[in-house]
Structures are given as structure tokens and as C-alpha cells.
Amino acid sequence: MTLLAVDELRVTVRRRGTELTVLDGVSFAVGAGQCLGIVGESGCGKSLTLRATMGLLPPGATRTGGDIRVGRDGLAMVFQDSHASLDPTMRVGSFLADVVRRRRGGTRAAARRQAAELLAAVGVPDPELRLRAYPHELSGGTRQRVAIALALATDPRVLLCDEPTTALDVTLQAEILRLLDTARAERGLGVVLVSHDVAVIRQVADVVAVMYAGQIIEAGPAAEVLDRPRHPYTRALISAVPALDGPVGPFRPIPGTPPDPAAYTPACRFLPRCGHDDAACRGQVPGVHALDLLHRSSCVHSIRPKEHA
């Protein structure tokens, strides 16, 4: 059952008096208990995709097109910067109980009890103690769990998670991802997980959408997209995943940088970094086309599976 369907989403931002198209026809869908992973380099439009879907675009950004179909009150979001999304002046218990009460009604005491249950459910030790803490008194991992508990307090059908594990170490990261998996299995929650990290997406996503320069350039079942990538950008992104024991540093997977939205031309946006360049790559921005029933790519020369091992 499809819980969320987004079709041809377009978003512009205003920069120095000019409207720039930063999301250009983004489409995806999420079913019950399914996890869609959206992956791509910094600035490709992952956060704006989630924010536009949620109806919470930042100032300066405008939705100029697209259709979003979702059940009433069906969405909740865990923001990229959980520190900023938690009110620093309120104790965790106060804002969590407020959200519970607004959503579910009941007495203040019952809401507080449910807030403690929510914290326990997301693996926060000593929930009663944590309810009395201010966000800055919590560790990064606990704060992220609180942000997830806060989103789950509204009983969403679909949870939009923007880089929910990026600031965490590998162990905590695995725990948070397991938490999302449990919520999917137990409640049929649909999850959209945004990450720049292919390894994270590989761990949890059933369906993968790869974003580049404001568009989804490849999408399909995780095994198809991650193991048999057909778009040169997806291939480059996957082969650039650092080894687990490799050096830690800024994520710079592919030589060059994505184009700035102000510099988009009517050509494939990956062309300057692709290594392939012919008339078919120029002249227009390629749209996605079906490779088979479920797998889509926007590369006009989408690599055939047998061309790479």
C-alpha cells in the first residue's frame, strides 16, 4: 500500500534577486513498512526534498510545482540538525508530553507517562531522568533518539529522516538504524531516509533514489541500484565508498563538484564529471526512463548490466 507519493516536485530558491530551480521534477513513493533511501552529495537537494514534502521549506525556498499525496497528519520529520529542532529552553519531558497531549489528548500525567514510554521505546536509558533534562545536557546519540521519539509521538504513517545518524559513531549509528527498522516491522511505518553515505543506505533501504543536482537520476530496488548501478554517477558514488578501516575525512567521492544551480545548462548535469560526452548528452537535460519494470535512470547511455562486473 502506498503511503506517500510525490510527483514532479519543483522548488526554487531566491538568490541575489534571481529564482533558481533547485528541485527539478523529483518523484518517489513509499509503501507501508518500506524504507526509501535517498542518497547524493552535499547540495543535491536531499533536505529540500524532505522539507518540501513535509510542507516546511526554509525561508527563501518556494514550491513551484508537484503533487504530494499523503494521508492526513501522516508525516513526521527528523531534521538534519536535531540540536536545532529541539527547544533548548524546555525540558525534554515538557515538549515531548506537549506533543503527545496535543495529538492524543488525555491528562497531563498520562501524556508524561507516554512520553517516558516513547523514550524507552527508542532506547533511551533512565527515561524518567531524561525527561527532566534540557537538550544540551544530553549526548548526541540520546538527543537524536529524543528527536526520533518526538517525531513518533505524532503517530505518523511515514517518517522523513534527514541524515539521522551522520553525527554519531558507528555503534550508535547502527542502533538508530535498527530502531527505525523495528518501527517499520512493528507499526508498518514507511521511512524515507536521506544520507550522503551509501553504506548507511545499503544497511536499511529497500528502495534507493540517487539524487544529483536537484533531480533523481537513478531509482529502483536497493539490490538493483546498489549492486547493478546503471547511471555513471551512481557507479562513481558507490565505488568511492571508503573502506571501513580507511582514513576518516570529508566526503569527496568523485573528482570535481556538482554544478551550482545558477550554472545549469541544457545538458546532462553530470557531463563535466562523467568522462563520457557526446551529442546525446548535450542539447537537453535527460529525463528518467524505465530500464525495466522498477529500475529507472536518466543517463541516455545507461550502462548495461553485463558491462560491469
Contact footprint for ligand ATP (CB under 6 A): 13, 22, 40, 42-48, 58, 60-61, 80, 196, 261
Contacts 24+ apart (CB under 8 A), 283-291: 285/24, 285/215, 287/25, 288/215, 288/216, 288/217, 288/218, 288/219, 291/220, 291/230
- 273 phi and psi, to 5 degrees? -115, 0
Draw the binding track, 199-238, toward ligand SF4 (x: CB under 6 A; -: no contact).
Answer: ---------------------------------x------
Q: Which of 9, 159, 179, 299 binds ligand SF4 (CB under 6 A)?
A: 299
Binds 274: which of ligand ATP, Mg ion, ligand SF4, none (CB < 5-8 Å by kind): ligand SF4
Binds 100: which of Mg ion, ligand SF4, ligand ATP, none (CB < 5-8 Å by kind): none
- Quote the least distance from Cβ 196 to ligand SF4, whole Å: 19
CA angle 65/66/68 to nearest 5° reads 140
Binds 257: which of Mg ion, ligand ATP, ligand SF4, none (CB < 5-8 Å by kind): none
Helical (H) or strand (E) element with 2: strand 2-15
Q: Give every strand in the sheet of 207-212, ordered side by side.
A: 75-78, 158-162, 190-195, 35-39, 207-212, 215-221, 296-297, 289-290
Neighbours of 146 (CB within 10 A): 26
In the complex with ligand ATP, which residue's Cβ is closer, 129 or 263? 263
270 lines the binding site for ligand SF4 (CB under 6 A): yes
Q: Which of 166, 281, 285, 305 binds ligand SF4 (CB under 6 A)?
A: 281
- Quote the least distance from Cβ 78 to ligand SF4, whole Å: 32
The alpha carbon dihedral of 250, 142, 175, 109 has a sign of negative
Q: Which range touches ligand SF4 (CB under 6 A), out of 39-47, 150-158, 258-266, 299-307?
A: 299-307
Of 22-51, which residues contact Mg ion (CB under 5 A)? 46-47
Give the burial class of 100: count Cβ atoms within 10 A of its Cβ; 0-12 exposed, 13-18 middle, 19 or more buried: buried
Chain residues in the site for ligand SF4 (CB under 6 A): 232, 268, 270-271, 274, 276-277, 281, 286, 299-301
Chain residues in the site for Mg ion (CB under 5 A): 46-47, 80
